[in-house]
Structure 1
């Protein structure tokens, strides 16, 4: 299983939003500049996150995005599953007699993703962990 740029950039997007949220909306343009990402790509990622209820959009000249839930209530699993869909380690049509192994691995990965909150990722990033994405 490999998490695509959708999942990785979605995590980066929400970590940045959480770090720079001060009660005022944060623009995708400012996140894109800080993270070195395409604003257009972030627009594609923010829509499903908004539809899932993790962010809210604020319209207007000083508009942007804010978290719709506390950082402690949004998990890495929430973000990854919203953007990537269900977790599959092997093709569903594989009949190798190892279904129990694949399911146990899938559950272990989900357990780790569910145990890491957006707050945890912010703290990892603020502590200077350059490769904070590898901690999840």
Structure 2
């Protein structure tokens, strides 16, 4: 399974929304500017995230997007499935030998487990931890 820019940038949007959870909406323009990404592309990703009930849009001059649920209630797997589809590593494994079929299923399940147990809260906090660690090197 290869995660495309859809999944990666979608997670970027969601992590930024998680970082600002409870502080009001954030515009995609702001996220695009801060992360040096295409605003137009982010707009294309926001629509399926909204349709899946992961984000809500807020209209108006100070509008943007907010998470529809708490950051600890949304997993990376939720986001990836919306933008990339089902998590599968090998197509047609039913035609494989039993040993290889078992291997591919174990790998798929391990990937699913990581994605489904990693919340936006974990990812947002990890970013904060990384920033604090990097500052320590410059003291």
Q: Could you tell me the TM-score, scaled by structure 2's length?
A: 0.87
Structure 1 or 2: more helix by fraction = 2
SS at match of 2:23: coil
How far off its partner does 1:61 sit?
1.4
1:127 matched to which residue of 2?
129
* Unaligned segments of structure 2, at least 5 residues: 132-139
CA distance in 2, matches of 1:122, 1:24: 17
Q: Could you tell me the TM-score, scaled by structure 1's length?
A: 0.89
SS at match of 1:57: strand
Give runs of ≥4 in structure 1 deviating > 3 Å.
none
Whether the aligned pair in 2 keeps the contact of 1:27 and 1:64 (CA below 8 Å) is yes
Are residues 1:24 and 2:38 paired? no
1:63 matched to which residue of 2?
63
CA RMSD, aligned part only?
Answer: 1.4
CA distance in 2, matches of 1:35, 1:17: 13
Q: Count residues with an aligned counterpart.
A: 129
* Unaligned segments of structure 1, at least 5 residues: 130-136
2:3 matched to which residue of 1?
3
Q: Which has the larger radius of gyration?
A: 2
